[in-house]
């Protein structure tokens, strides 16, 4: 039995709600039993990009900082980024898509950062998000330490478009 990381609930300004559930795959078997599947993240307001290159399907879900928070190159700062490879569309119905893939990257702040943002605290007032000089915020968050040991696990993703009531 494996210890389950806390579920990460991240709210952003994108167009989709993405739920990530991780499941063990055969090469991760250890001991007598299989580790349990875990609900790893719920990203509300995420944007996603998918592409296919040289036989590899790739999918990235990103949550961006509120408008006005940019790095020195004027790129939007990212609050969370989850990357998956070997994506397969399992089903699609009513605008909801179910994918299976492999988690290969997870960058995110701790949950308390998102809670403080939701309460109205500016990014520049949150230590974990501060950049290198006053008034600056980080371009990318830290590696998600609770999920790093699950890299390589099969991921089940449910992607649904946000409706107005979801975005409030």
Dihedral (CA of 115, 111, 42, 36) sign:
negative
pLDDT of residue 160: 95
pLDDT of residue 2: 57
> What's this model's pTM, rounded to 2 decimal places?
0.84
Is 81 a domain residue? yes
Is 60 a domain residue? yes
pLDDT of residue 30: 57
* DSSP run (H or E) holding 118: helix 111-118
* DSSP run (H or E) holding 63: strand 56-64
pLDDT values of the chain reduced to their tens digit, one per residue, 168 residues: 556 777 899 988 889 999 999 988 766 555 555 567 889 999 999 998 888 877 788 899 999 887 777 665 667 788 999 999 998 999 999 999 999 999 999 999 999 999 998 898 888 889 988 877 777 788 889 999 889 889 999 999 999 999 855 544
Is 168 a domain residue? no
Q: Provide the number of structural domains found in the chain.
A: 1
Is 167 a domain residue? no
Token duo for residue 60 = 């990235």
Is 144 a domain residue? yes
Is 2 a domain residue? no
Is 98 a domain residue? yes
pLDDT of residue 84: 95
Q: How far apart are CA 24 and CA 150, in angstroms?
A: 9
3-state helix, strand, coil in the chain (%, to 5): 10, 45, 40
Is 49 a domain residue? yes
Host domain of residue 133: 8-161
């Amino acid at each position: 039995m494996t210890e389950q990381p806390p579920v990460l609930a991240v709210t952003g300004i994108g167009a989709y709600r993405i739920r990530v559930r991780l499941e063990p795959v055969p090469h991760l078997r250890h001991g007598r039993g299989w580790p349990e599947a875990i609900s790893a993240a719920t990203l509300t307001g995420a944007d996603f990009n998918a592409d296919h290159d040289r036989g590899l399907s790739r999918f990235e879900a990103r949550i961006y900082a509120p408008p006005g928070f940019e790095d020195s190159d004027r790129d939007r700062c990212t609050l969370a980024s989850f990357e998956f490879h070997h994506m397969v569309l399992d089903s699609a119905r009513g605008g909801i898509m179910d994918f299976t893939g492999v988690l290969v990257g997870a960058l995110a702040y701790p949950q308390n950062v998102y809670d403080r943002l939701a309460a109205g605290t500016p990014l520049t007032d949150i230590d974990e998000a501060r950049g290198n000089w006053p008034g600056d915020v980080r371009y990318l968050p830290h590696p998600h330490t609770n999920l790093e040991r699950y890299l390589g696990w099969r991921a089940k993703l449910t992607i649904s478009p946000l409706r107005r009531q979801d975005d409030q």
